Amino acid sequence: MMEYDFWKIFPKMPGKVTIGDITIRDGFQHEEKFISTAAKIFYLEELIFAGCRHIEVTNLGSAFLMPQFRDAEDLFKHLRGDRFKKRCKRKGVNYDDICFTAITIRELAVDCAIQLRKKGIGPDRLLMMVSTEEEHHFANSGTTLPEYWKEAERCIKKCNDAGIKMCGTVSTIWGSPIGGATDMKDAIEFSKRWLEIGAHDIEHADHDGSASAPDVYRYFSMILDEIPDPALHIAHFHETKRIASASVLAALQAGITNFEATLGGLGGQPANFLDDCPTKGTGEYYYKDPRYVGLVTLEDTLVQIDEMGIEHGYDVDRILWLGRQMEKTIGRRLRSEAIINGRTLKEGHMEFARPGLKERKIKLGEEPGRKIPGNWNPKAVLPEYRS
């Protein structure tokens, strides 16, 4: 007899997940216009009030390379201020449950985070990043892999002394836009290395939409065999071929419980142009069309997970509203379908019903709710088929 229960087929599927939002950092870093500090504060606050408890605030790297983040300290001052803490209390949000993350690819940025921490306004958690493909890693960091690992080890020791957690990201797991095909076993080893040198958790990144669902399932099954605690792992999927929702499902089936997303599917490489001025960024973009760059959308991912009956902690309707506001902030149509079409409503959309069905059934003498002719067998009998 065929098994129809999804959770019995995939017994590692979680009943509850954590979805972190990275719109303000990863989402905005790719925009070629400066997003105002006021807008950033608005979305940081509203995402938290809508249920987000793990949120990326900014990038503490060079404002010369990435001027989008020149207001990094102002954002942390606001989030650590009494006004925001009082707003959280009024909204029923436990401020201590919120984890504020900043990206610190290099050691100078880590030192900056520690200085902010000493001022009482620093992040709770930082993120450093390695790519298993060294050309991609060099493009992002300007270092070799062995050189970077030594730097990361120093930084984690500094963070431990300062009371800051460190997340280690592993990228190019499913392929590199520069070097091509990669070996997933390298990413398994790199994940172990992060934990060996003291990282708090690991972000597993499909940074350019290279992943396919079978390989996502295979990889995360391998990871959980080697490092069984799901709390240590975060799935980070980019959307370039409209197949990332399958990757989310495959990760769930493997037993992953932590995900990241952005409003509208924003994100990509740091911009090399801002407002009216070329900037450094991380160099030339490695894609041809900016319409097909970014992360999985928070809105659509939430609807997907919500309609599977998996607990997530968000006010989904509020997130859909925020997605519509984000399109106004950015000034173009973004990639969420859910903000347009909404959620699947169990009660339907009766305003679209054609009038007259009830009257026609009465006229034909049909019982209310009858769907087959009254003189037919109650159950269909299949004909015999010849093989």
Q: How confident is the model at residue 316 (pLDDT cuts 50, 70, 90)?
A: very high
Other C-beta atoms lying within 10 Å of the C-beta of residue 158: 16
Distance from C-alpha of 250 to C-alpha of 165, rounded to nearest angstrom: 28
Whether the per-residue pLDDT at 387 is higher than 70: the answer is no
Whether the per-residue pLDDT at 330 is higher than 70: the answer is yes
Q: 1 lies in a domain?
A: no
In Å, how far are 43, 136, 332 from 55, measured between CA atoms?
11, 26, 24
Query: Residue 269 in 3-state DSSP?
Result: coil
The residue among 47, 54, 60 whose CA lies nearest residue 18 is 54
Q: How confident is the model at residue 287 (pLDDT cuts 50, 70, 90)?
A: confident
The CATH code of the domain that includes 58 is 3.20.20.70
How many domains are there within the chain? 1
- Ranked by mean pLDDT, the top range of 184-198, 284-298, 332-346 is 184-198
Q: 7 lies in a domain?
A: no
Q: 348 lies in a domain?
A: no
Q: 308 lies in a domain?
A: yes
Q: 285 lies in a domain?
A: yes
Beta strands in the chain (DSSP E): 18-21, 54-59, 99-103, 125-131, 165-171, 201-206, 233-237, 258-261, 273-274, 277-278
Q: Which domain holds residue 191?
A: 13-341
Q: Which of 100-109, 235-244, 247-256, 311-320 has the lowest mean pLDDT?
A: 235-244
Q: 359 lies in a domain?
A: no
Phi first, then psi: give them for residue 297, nearest 5 degrees.
Answer: -80, 135
Task: For residue 291, give the DSSP letter.
Answer: G
> Which positions ≥6 away from 20 have C-beta within 8 Å?
52, 53, 54, 55, 56, 101, 234, 258, 259, 260, 261
Q: What is the average pLDDT across 115-129?
A: 97
Tokens of 62: 């060079």
State the burial class of residue 111 (Cβ atoms within 10 Å of its Cβ: 0-12, 13-18, 19+): middle
Q: 360 lies in a domain?
A: no
pLDDT at res. 386: 67
Q: 41 lies in a domain?
A: yes
- Please provide the average confidence, as pLDDT, over all residues in the chain: 95
Phi first, then psi: give them for residue 57, nearest 5 degrees.
Answer: -95, -45
Beta bridge partners of 56: 101
* pTM (2 d.p.): 0.93
Whether the per-residue pLDDT at 300 is higher than 80: the answer is yes
The residue among 336, 258, 302, 337 whose CA lies nearest residue 51 is 302
